[in-house]
Each structure stands twice: as C-alpha cells, then as structure tokens.
Amino acid sequence: MLPSALPPCPYLPAPRAGLDWRTLHVHREDVRGAEFYHDCLEYAQALWQRGLAARAMLCLDRALGSDLRGDEPVLRTWPLPYAAMAWLVVHTPPGVFMGNPRVHFQHYAGRMNEPRREPRRWRAWACWALTRAVRPDLPGDPKHAIAEPTLEEISAQLNAYGLPGEAELWRSVLSERPKMTAGESMA
C-alpha cells in the first residue's frame, strides 16, 4: 500500500508540511503541555497518512501523557484522542503494520512509570478497552499476570485521576463503537 493512500483521520489535525521526529524532539526539555500535545496529534496524523499506523498510535500515547490541566484551549478543538485511537485501530488496512494494540496497551498499562503515572496508566487501560471493543478479534496476552480492569473500574479511575470530563469523553467514544466500521467514522 502506498503511504499516501491512507485517508486523514477525522479526529486529528491536518499536519504541517515536512513534519518529522524533530517536531517532538524540540519539547525534550519542556513541561510537555498544550503545545506538545498538539504537536503529538499533528505528528500522529502525518505518520498515519504516511502509512505508519503503529508509530501514529505510539504518538497518540505520547499525547495522552501530556501534562494538561483540562482548561487548555487546544482541548476544546482536539479532545483527548480516544476517538482518534479507536479510529486508527479500526481503519488500519491489511498489510499496514500496527502490531497488536490490545497487547500493547495491556503491557503499557502494567509497566507505567512517572511522571503522571496514574492518569497515563488509566488512559492506557481506556485505550485497551476501546481496542477490545472495536477489534474483538485481536487476542490479549494470556500470560500477562496483571488483572484486567472492568469498564467501571476504568471509568472510576479516569474520574479520579483524569481531566474533568475525561471519563465521560471515553465512555462516549466507547458507546459509539458499533458505528466504527471500515466504511464509517464515529461522527
């Protein structure tokens, strides 16, 4: 598949021309707040459109790890990328590498470290649950020793550690999953 053949994700901003690894590298000494968050979303779109689905999802992981309070203007336009993550998982064409995002999130949540360990951990579990919902055919890792949380536990922990309204945002994406087929978006 030609990288340019992937359509843009409707839940991510259009990328500036020429984005590459340096887009995020400039933030290595920053707090990694709102500007970093937006750059992660934009770079994820660029990677996705180049046919690099797995790297785009990893970039969304980084966006979900940003240091945000919840009142940043960028979040009004580009809410936390739960819908984008689910959309990428659903729309990755056969032959384009994405790995197994269900296993990725399962392991990622289980080995999370600082900074912002708890919000990042529960966001990983939230993405794990979304992946299970939109791609039930992807197997989990049966040897993974960490107990998998229920949807209620994930929601409660997002309420406890996430941004204001984050659990509701995640639940709304989760409830839209039946509409997420290869021919439809969640809009």
Residue 85 has a CB neighbour count (10 Å cut-off) of: 28
Q: What pLDDT is recorded for position 172?
A: 97
- The mean pLDDT values, 10 residues at a time, for the chain of 187 residues are 72 86 64 86 94 95 94 97 97 94 93 88 97 94 89 98 98 80 41
Q: What pLDDT is recorded for position 75?
A: 97
pTM for this prediction: 0.88
| Of 133, 130, 105, 109, the residue nearest 119 (C-alpha) | 109
Alpha-carbon span 110 to 122, nearest angstrom? 10
Q: What pLDDT is recorded for position 115?
A: 85
Q: What pLDDT is recorded for position 129?
A: 97
Q: What pLDDT is recorded for position 27?
A: 58
For the chain, give every domain's residue range: 18-179
Q: What pLDDT is recorded for position 28?
A: 64
Q: How far is CA 23 from CA 29, 48, 53, 84, in A?
A: 13, 15, 18, 20
Q: How far is CA 38 from CA 17, 20, 75, 81, 163, in A?
A: 15, 14, 9, 11, 16
- What single letter denotes the amino acid at residue 174? L
